[in-house]
Chain A
Amino acid sequence: MMFTPENLERARAIVARYPRAKSAILPLAHLAQDQDGWLSPEAMREIAALTRVEPAEVLGTCSFYTMFKRDPVGRLVVSVCTNVTCLVTGGPEVLEHLARRYDDDDVYVEEVECLAACGGAPAMQVNYEFHEGLTPEMAEEIVEAYKRGELIPRGVSGGRVS
């Protein structure tokens, strides 16, 4: 992977915003992940060059954070909350249904911690777009709407992908 010329320009602008270049690791990793659909070793090497650190330092930082997927995850990341408010309002049932329904290369279903959507529990995100007040059937219908192109997903890091 290499940043596209347009993204490379954005990446350099991001680095320039910080007093120290290393601070740009997280934003650049988001940018790379939105571009490629995952955070590849090649991307981390390029981020290292841009932030003037060793590639191992980029890996060391990025491997700490759950949003960075260091293997390809497909087009849709479906994050289902099962923390306590969702636990008592049906979150685990949504997760179980989706995990059983989607066992493919296009849809990646994961269990996540509290998404700060407890007022609409149970909740999930699809590529970091919130969907609340779910039943297992509704959750599946939402994923299907993304698959059919009726809902336009963000990038797998939650950014807008042009």
Chain B
Amino acid sequence: MTVTETRVITKRIHDRPEDSWTIDGALASGAYEGLRAAFAMGRDAIGEEQVKASGLRGRGGAGFPTATKWSFLPAGSYPRYLVVNADEGEPSTFKDRMLIERDPHQLIEGIAIAAFAIECNLAFVYIRGEFALGYERLEQAVAEAKAKGFLGMNILGSGFDLDIVVHRGAGAYICGEETALLESLEGERGMPRIRPPFPAIEGLYAKPTVVNNVETISTLPHIVRMGGEEYAKLGVDRSTGTRVFSLSGHVKRPGNYEVELGVTFRDLLYSPELGGGITDDRKVKFFIPGGASSQWLTGADEHLDAPLDMDFLEQNLGVMLGSGAVMVFDETVNPALVAWRLAKFFADESCGKCTPCREGTGWVEKVLYRIAHGQGRPQDFDMLLDVCDNISPGVTTAPFAQTTICPLGPSVVSPVASLQKYFRDEVLAMCTGPSTIPVSAS
């Protein structure tokens, strides 16, 4: 079956490639109409009616219902802050960068709607430090929006005030974790906080705070404009709407594709207007369905024909749709090498706060390195599982059980658990080094 894109939040980007990020381009294609509609329907109708009815779930990775997250804010406690998580760093995810660079006004409009709904007058966008162009365009867009009266005092005569501070990170994947992000925004090292208290109760500057992803916020203008119930007609079951999938690796047409939730991985990889098939018409050996932290799937029919549906994937295949990044590897790829490079990533990015992660990710990386480079010992695989069991007890059910504050440590378990599940024999066949190296698992 052939599937095409359903462009909701990427429509302006495709319709106006020459000026989608400018105020003129944005206004000529309906920008800030959602904000007017939001003011017209009133504060309470946004979160409790429209967003709730839309079924919108967070697009950053965890998939938590947005309206529910907002509802956790304690009544009568001010000031409240809205923080947009634009610290996109999950390997193979590149949707937020596109949404920021090419449609910053859609993001600002969404921020204004969310801030109005939760009664927040100062919002922050924490943008990944490496996104120099995105930062520049967003700053420019904020200035333009202020000049046109979409930000500032008494926006569009509504009596609502809002300012946005765009804050650049400086190179730390961990700051994509919401409590580490808040620490970083306060001028500290980006290390996760123990929860509770959750950010909704004590977040930025110990004030009630909502942290939402760029794509989540960018969807709000459309939900308000279409109506929540209409939006919920897109998608499938509890995975409503569209998502932007970042498709990369061995496909003919890598890129960002916005599709309705519920289409299958095969649709995404092989449809002529989406992935277009595998490079050189080879076969899929395995793919990572939801960013580097997710467990893997293989080229088996039951995996390729699985729907892009958060609940289905979690319940039936034990993987997460995560950040919406799909990385494809063909039959020429050594899975141990990919697992090693992912482990190296997590070892590099571990903030060092929790011992199992700080030490464990490094050990997993070293052992995977020697396996991937032909120097593994026969007992190495079981040692890997043992190390992983100390980070995420019950290895193959990871990443839900964890001995760490945040999910970064358990994420290193995903590639190891995936090797165990699908490539154990292939990896063991690579472990032909001498078993007398004086390192022991037990």
Contact B92 A30 (CB under 8 A): no
Contact A115 B129 (CB under 8 A): no
Question: Bound state CA distance, A20 and B128, in angstroms?
Answer: 21
Task: Given the known inter-chain contacts A23-B187, A116-B97, A158-B130, please indicate yes or no for A67 contacting B171, CB distance below 8 A.
Answer: yes
Contact segment of B35-43, B107-115, B243-251, B426-434: B243-251
A-B contact count (CB 8 A): 148
Task: Given the known inter-chain contacts A24-B187, A84-B292, A121-B248, please indicate yes or no for A64 contacting B172, CB distance below 8 A.
Answer: yes
Contact B329 A88 (CB under 8 A): yes
Contact B188 A158 (CB under 8 A): no
Question: Bound state CA distance, A65 and B136, in angstroms?
Answer: 20
Contact segment of A1-9, A100-108, A122-130, A141-149: A122-130
Contact B132 A154 (CB under 8 A): yes
Contact A119 B91 (CB under 8 A): no
Task: Given the known inter-chain contacts A17-B165, A159-B132, please indicate yes or no for A84 contacting B92, CB distance below 8 A.
Answer: yes
Task: Given the known inter-chain contacts A25-B187, A113-B348, please indicate yes or no for A85 contacting B128, CB distance below 8 A.
Answer: no
Q: How many A residues face the partner with a CB closer than 8 A?
A: 49
Question: Bound state CA distance, A20 and B186, in angstroms?
Answer: 8
| Size category of the binding interface on chain B | 35 or more
Of residues 55 through 90 on chain A, the ones whose CB sits less than 8 Å from some CB of chain B are 60-62, 64-68, 79, 82-85, 87-89
Contact A128 B130 (CB under 8 A): yes
Residues of B within 8 A of A30 (CB): 129, 168, 170
Contact A65 B168 (CB under 8 A): no
Apart from the given pairs A26-B168, A119-B247, A128-B132, 16 other A-B contacts in the complex at a CB distance below 8 Å: A22-B188, A24-B187, A26-B167, A61-B188, A66-B172, A79-B130, A87-B337, A87-B341, A114-B93, A114-B345, A118-B92, A118-B246, A118-B327, A119-B246, A121-B254, A158-B135
Sample of 9 A–B contacts (CB below 8 Å): A19-B122, A24-B187, A30-B129, A51-B187, A64-B189, A66-B172, A67-B130, A116-B88, A128-B131
Q: Which residues in B have some Cβ–Cβ distance to A below 8 Å?
A: 88-94, 96-97, 122, 128-133, 135-136, 165, 167-173, 184-190, 205, 246-250, 254-256, 288, 292, 325, 327, 329, 333, 337-338, 341-342, 345, 348-349, 351
Q: Which residues in A have some Cβ–Cβ distance to B below 8 Å?
A: 17-20, 22-27, 29-30, 51, 53, 60-62, 64-68, 79, 82-85, 87-89, 112-121, 125, 127-130, 154, 158-160
